[in-house]
């Protein structure tokens, strides 16, 4: 059966709109008798027609369509058809791989073979990888061989290294070597470096060699790169870019910071002074944003005085401002005088803010006079940054200026002043007596902000008599002061506060009652239980929520029945708090109630119940938690992993090991944290394998370091036989363990 003659006529019309309508009709049906016409339209001159047909093929990717698309790659006269067939095959994905694998080694047409090889690089499968390795051994056409190499690089599989390195040694064609070096860089395995570095002697391979070094990002190559930068007459931007890539490579926290510090130090020691001017010149002339970014970084690393006015000037360019600010921080304390001069002359608020952030990190006492000028700035953000910076610079002379800002009209500025005063008094204990005298006077101020913030400072520095001052303030006529006093009481487990906190549970102000509930949790006086139960009936939802949370901390049987009553009828925030409180009771009495919550439609209720079951005894509870690791919703699976970790039962280990390979990153992270709670040597092979997962590498590394006595010898054994990728990570973890021992 053939397509409708009228449809064929329309598909071959000179009008592209008519052909487009025909394409829509055949693409929607994609019936067998329409396929010849669809493949004809796949090569249409109009891109809309071709796209419509591609969409139709992708929707119905049966084997006959895939075979037809592969045949279309042989149409040497129609580039549009070939490109559309390639797009369709890539979008079809996995079903297209087996027929390509079957055809590629038998295909005699070089151009078609080239298309097949490129597709196998884009689609990727284990079978395709093995076929590409086989092709590499026998392929004679240089273009196809180069494409095989490039496709292998896309797999990022170190199993290809032996053959690729062998090609570097056996084949003389520079074009092929160019692609091999690129592929080795894409694979990113440091064991390829001994084969790559000597190729820098070949002028035509220098750029791919440097780019590959940057992609592999091994800190051991920085001396090689710095030598090139220092010795070559022209400024080698590719080598500089490679250096930045190494410094900014995505690596575990245990590695990243030490490597970045090493690179910056070596750069400052080795970068030739005569290259600074060309670097600045190129910064001004390049239109490329990424090039400007890494040049600004290097100017900061250089420590060269000529770089300072340039970096300061680039603070005024929004797209480069953050990078320039970080470069000034990297430059270090020797930049401070120029930075302060710029701060005094800056007109734009954004520039002032950036300069204050820089001073916050690298400034010393000499910066204080310049900062004081901004404490009365119109912009509250500038004032806050200035106040925070004074707290970071260890000098007691700033305290009086900070005390004067306790009544700033911006609340964030007030808090910054409180924090900075507290920090300076902690750094200079000899100032405490004098500060307390001033604080006592300020406590008598008619200004509410001054009284509130003075009270905070008084408590933070624990001045003599602060208990009495808090008790007095908790009875103040102003609810804001009462709320602040009650909140501050919550910082201390002082028995003398108990009566007043209980009384405050009945305060007329909602904010005071809420503060009292949050504060009473720390002390948990017996007389506070009944008022908290009463607070479950408060009209305010957040009071009821806080009361439920507080009752959970009490863990008293008397609170269970009132809590369960609110589980039946209250709003979700209260119900979630009740579920958490019931779980903390750690009694079998709440098991059935929490089981019932697991079957509700509200995911947050289910999640809270899952977490609440962590401490509830019973083998049926354990079985339910383990089964929930297979739940269709990632939030429930993550909660189940967390609950099992909190439960601390080693029988959960196999299930948690399996959860390390969950499809969701958050579930994986929850499993790692659970294994942190249930540290056991049997987890080592599973955690060790998880080091390959970049999403949880930092968390797994921290588990190893935290439980170093448990895992150190196993890691040392693994390090002796590790491949080059893992070797670096394991060495960094072992080094972090050693550092933790010394702390």
pLDDT in tens, 671-714: 999 999 999 999 999 999 999 888 898 999 999 999 999 999 99
User: Is 203 within 8 Å of 172 (Cβ atoms)?
Assistant: no
C-alpha 290/C-alpha 320 separation (Å) is 10
Furthest CA-CA distance within the chain? 101
pLDDT surpassing 80 at residue 433:
yes
Tell me which of 15-29, 208-222, 664-678 is least confident: 15-29
User: Is 107 within 8 Å of 131 (Cβ atoms)?
Assistant: no
pLDDT surpassing 60 at residue 461:
yes
> pTM for this one?
0.75
Q: What is the predicted pLDDT for the residue at 30?
A: 66
C-alpha 567/C-alpha 590 separation (Å) is 12
User: Is 66 within 8 Å of 101 (Cβ atoms)?
Assistant: no
| Number of C-beta neighbours around residue 348 at 10 A | 11
The confidence band for 207, taking pLDDT boundaries of 50, 70 and 90, is very high
Distances (CA, A) of 347 to 316, 317, 322, 376, 726: 10, 14, 17, 15, 51
Q: What is the predicted pLDDT for the residue at 523?
A: 81
Averaged pLDDT, 646-670: 95
pLDDT surpassing 90 at residue 411:
yes
Q: What is the predicted pLDDT for the residue at 498?
A: 87
Averaged pLDDT, 112-123: 92
**Per-residue pLDDT reduced to its tens digit, 298-307:** 999 999 999 9
Tell me which of 331-345, 455-469, 593-607 is least confident: 455-469
pLDDT surpassing 80 at residue 719:
yes
Q: What is the predicted pLDDT for the residue at 32?
A: 73
CATH architecture of the domain with residue range 586-668? Alpha Horseshoe (1.25)
C-alpha 137/C-alpha 143 separation (Å) is 14
pLDDT surpassing 70 at residue 1:
no
Domain 277-363 CATH (choose: 3.40.50.920, 1.25.10.10, 1.10.340.30, 3.40.250.10): 1.25.10.10
**Per-residue pLDDT reduced to its tens digit, 74-105:** 888 889 999 999 999 999 999 999 999 999 88
Q: What is the predicted pLDDT for the residue at 137?
A: 86
pLDDT surpassing 80 at residue 463:
no
Domain 364-464 CATH (choose: 3.30.420.40, 3.40.50.300, 3.40.50.2000, 1.25.10.10): 1.25.10.10
pLDDT surpassing 90 at residue 2:
no
C-alpha 336/C-alpha 331 separation (Å) is 9
Cβ-count burial of 78 within 10 angstroms (0-12 exposed, 13-18 middle, 19+ buried)?
A: middle
Tell me which of 32-36, 541-545, 629-633, 683-687 is least confident: 32-36
Q: What is the predicted pLDDT for the residue at 636?
A: 96
Share of residues in the chain with pLDDT > 90 (%): 68
**Per-residue pLDDT reduced to its tens digit, 524-557:** 888 889 999 999 999 999 999 999 999 999 888 8
Averaged pLDDT, 229-241: 91
């Amino acid at each position: 059966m053939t397509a409708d003659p009228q449809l064929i006529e329309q598909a071959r019309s000179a009008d592209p709109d008519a052909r487009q309508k025909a394409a829509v009709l055949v693409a929607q049906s994609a019936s067998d008798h329409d396929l010849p016409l669809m493949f004809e339209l796949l090569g249409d001159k109009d891109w809309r027609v071709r796209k419509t047909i591609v969409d139709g093929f992708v929707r119905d990717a049966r084997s006959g369509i895939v075979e037809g698309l592969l045949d279309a790659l042989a149409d040497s006269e129609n580039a549009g058809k070939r490109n559309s067939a390639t797009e369709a095959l890539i979008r079809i994905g996995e079903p297209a791989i087996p027929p390509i694998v079957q055809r590629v080694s038998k295909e005699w047409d070089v151009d078609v073979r080239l298309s097949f090889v490129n597709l196998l690089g884009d689609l990727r499968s284990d079978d395709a990888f093995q076929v590409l390795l086989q092709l590499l051994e026998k392929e004679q056409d240089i273009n196809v061989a180069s494409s095989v190499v490039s496709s292998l690089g896309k797999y990022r599989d170190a199993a290809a290294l032996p053959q690729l390195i062998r090609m570097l040694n056996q084949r003389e064609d520079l074009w092929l070597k160019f692609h091999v070096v690129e592929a080795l860089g894409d694979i990113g395995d440091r064991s390829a470096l001994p084969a790559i570095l000597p190729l820098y002697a070949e002028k035509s391979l220098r750029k791919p060699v440097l780019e590959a070094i940057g992609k592999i990002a091994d800190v051991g190559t920085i001396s090689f790169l710095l030598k090139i930068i220092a010795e070559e007459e022209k400024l080698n931007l590719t080598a500089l870019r490679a250096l930045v890539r190494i410094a900014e490579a995505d690596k575990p926290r245990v590695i990243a910071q030490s490597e970045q510090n090493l690179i910056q130090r070596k750069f400052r020691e080795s970068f030739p002074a005569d290259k600074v001017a060309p670097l600045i010149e190129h910064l001004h002339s390049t239109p490329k944003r990424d090039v400007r970014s890494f040049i600004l970084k290097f100017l900061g690393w250089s420590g060269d005085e000529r770089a300072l006015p340039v970096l300061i000037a680039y603070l005024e360019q929004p797209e480069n401002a953050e990078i320039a600010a970080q470069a000034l921080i990297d430059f270090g304390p020797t930049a401070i005088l120029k930075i302060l001069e710029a701060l005094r002359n800056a007109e734009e608020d954004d520039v002032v803010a950036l300069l204050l952030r820089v001073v916050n990190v690298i400034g010393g006492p000499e910066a204080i006079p310049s900062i004081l000028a901004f404490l009365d700035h119109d912009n509250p953000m500038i004032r806050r940054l200035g106040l925070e910076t004074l707290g970071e610079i260890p000098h007691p002379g700033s305290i009086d200026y900070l005390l004067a800002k306790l009544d700033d009209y911006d609340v964030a500025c007030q808090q910054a002043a409180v924090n900075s005063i507290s920090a300076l008094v902690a750094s200079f204990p000899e100032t405490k007596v004098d500060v307390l005298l001033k604080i006592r006077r300020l406590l008598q101020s008619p200004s509410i902000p001054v009284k509130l913030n003075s009270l905070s400072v008084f408590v933070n520095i624990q001045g003599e008599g602060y208990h009495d001052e808090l008790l007095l303030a908790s009875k103040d006529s102003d609810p804001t002061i009462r709320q602040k006093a009650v909140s501050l009481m919550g910082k201390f487990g002082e028995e003398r506060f108990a009566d007043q906190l209980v009384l405050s549970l009945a305060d007329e102000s909602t904010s005071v009652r809420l503060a009292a509930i949050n504060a009473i949790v720390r002390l948990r006086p017996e007389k506070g239980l009944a008022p908290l139960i009463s607070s479950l009936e408060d009209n305010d939802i957040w009071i009821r929520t806080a009361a439920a949370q507080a009752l959970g901390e009490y863990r008293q049987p008397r609170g269970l029945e009132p809590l369960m009553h609110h589980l039946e009828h209250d709003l979700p925030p209260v119900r979630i708090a009740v579920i958490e409180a019931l779980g903390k009771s750690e009694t079998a009495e709440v098991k059935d109630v929490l089981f019932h919550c697991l079957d509700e439609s509200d995911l947050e209720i289910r999640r809270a119940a899952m977490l609440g079951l962590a401490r509830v005894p019973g083998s049926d509870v354990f079985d339910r938690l383990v089964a929930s690791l297979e739940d269709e919703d990632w939030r429930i699976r993550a909660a189940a992993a967390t609950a099992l970790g909190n439960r601390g039962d080693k029988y959960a280990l196999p299930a948690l090991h399996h959860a390390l390979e969950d499809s969701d990153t958050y579930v994986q992270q929850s499993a790692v944290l659970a294994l942190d709670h249930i540290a056991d040597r049997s987890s080592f092979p599973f955690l060790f394998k998880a080091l390959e997962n970049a999403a949880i590498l930092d968390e797994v590394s921290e588990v190893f370091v935290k439980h170093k006595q448990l895992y150190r010898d196993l890691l040392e054994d693994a390090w002796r036989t590790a491949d080059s990728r893992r070797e670096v990570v394991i060495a960094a973890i072992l080094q972090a363990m050693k550092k933790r021992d010394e702390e």
